[in-house]
Amino acid sequence: MDFKGKVAVVTGAASGIGRSVALAFAKLGTDVAIADIDDAGLKNVRKEIESLKRRVIAVHCDVSKDDDVNNLAKQAILTLGKVDILMNNAGVGVRGYLERVTMADWQWTVGINLFGVIRGVHAFLPHMLQRGSGYIINTGSAGGLIASEPPELAPTNIPYITSKHGVTGFSEAIYGYLRPKGIMVSLLCPGMVDTKIGDNSRYVGSNREVSEMKGGGESLFSAPGVMSPDDLAQMLIKGMNENKFLIITHQEIMDALTARGQNMKKLEEHLQETFKNKV
C-alpha cells in the first residue's frame, strides 16, 4: 500500500496506539486528522506530526456522540480534501465483578467501544463509497476474540470483552459487504500494549477490590511481553500492506484462537485451565 499522499483519520489519537499509528502514517507521507477528548494530548501529537511536514488537524471528538463524529468527518473532508483511511481506535474499560457493574457503566463502555466504531463507519462510509475506495481499521482486542484473554483481567473485564466481541462481529460483517466495493477492512486485535487505557477505565467495587484491580493492571502492563505502541503501529502497517483482515499482535492469541477454531472442546479445556484456582 502506498501511504504517500493519503489522508488518514485516527480516533483516540492523543496517546497510546492512536498516537503511534498517527505518527507512523505521517512518517510514510500521510496527512492526518487526529481526534480525542484529550485536547492537551492532541495538541502535542499535532506538533509532532507538523514537525514531520505533514498536514494535520486536531479535532475534539467524543465518539459516543453522533454530532462529534459527524463533525469530525466534516472537518476532515473539508480541510484535508478527502479521507482514504479511517482508524476507529478510541476505547475505554470498566473493571469490576459482574454483579457490581451498573447499566450506566455498560452503556458507557458499549457506547464508546462498539458504537464509537459504528458511528465512525456511518459517518465516513458515504464519502468512501462515493470515491469507490478506502481503508477502515477497527481496533478490537484479544479479548474480542477469546473471552478469557488476558486471563488475569478477564473475570473483572466482562463489559470490555463484550464490547470488543461486538467490534469483531461488526468488522467481519462489513468486510464481506465492503470489500467488493473497493473498501478494505482490517480488525486490529492487540494483546497487552503499554497504553493509558487503565487510566481511562472505570473501577467498580469496594475500596479493597478497586485497589487490587488497579495494582494488578499496573503490574501486567509493565510485565515482559507487553508491546510498545510504536511496535504495534509497525505491525499494523505491515498487515495493511499485506491486505490482512485480522491483525494479531501476539502469538499466544493466535494459538488460543486456533485451538478454539479447531475444536470447541479445546476451548472448554482452555477456559477450565485459565480459571483454575481463581474462584
| Inside any domain, residue 75 | yes
CATH, residue 74: 3.40.50.720
What does the longest C-alpha to C-alpha distance in the chain come to? 56
Residue 274 is assigned to a structural domain of this protein: no
Strands 94-95 and 202-203: parallel
Q: What is the pLDDT of residue 265?
A: 64
Residue of 110, 97, 129, 102 whose CA lies nearest to 206: 97
Grid cell digits, residue 76: 476532515
Examine residue 259 and state whether it is found in any structural domain, yes or no: no
> What integer pLDDT is reported at residue 220 of this predicted model?
47
270 within domain boundaries? no
Tally of domains within the chain:
1
Catalytic residue (one of 160, 175, 177, 203): 160
Task: Note whether residue 87 is domain-resident.
Answer: yes
Give residue 184's domain range.
7-250
Report residues of the chain scoring pLDDT below 50.
218-222, 279
pLDDT given at position 271:
64
Question: Is residue 246, in this structure, part of any structural domain at all?
Answer: yes
Residue 96 located in a structural domain: yes
**Residue 160 designated active-site:** yes
Q: What is the pLDDT of residue 166?
A: 98
pLDDT of residue 219: 44
Q: Residue 207: its pLDDT value, please?
A: 63
φ and ψ at 246, to 5 degrees?
-100, 120
In a domain, 24, yes or no: yes
State the pTM of this model.
0.88
Strand 183-189's sheet: what is its strand order?
56-60, 31-36, 7-11, 85-88, 134-139, 183-189, 246-248
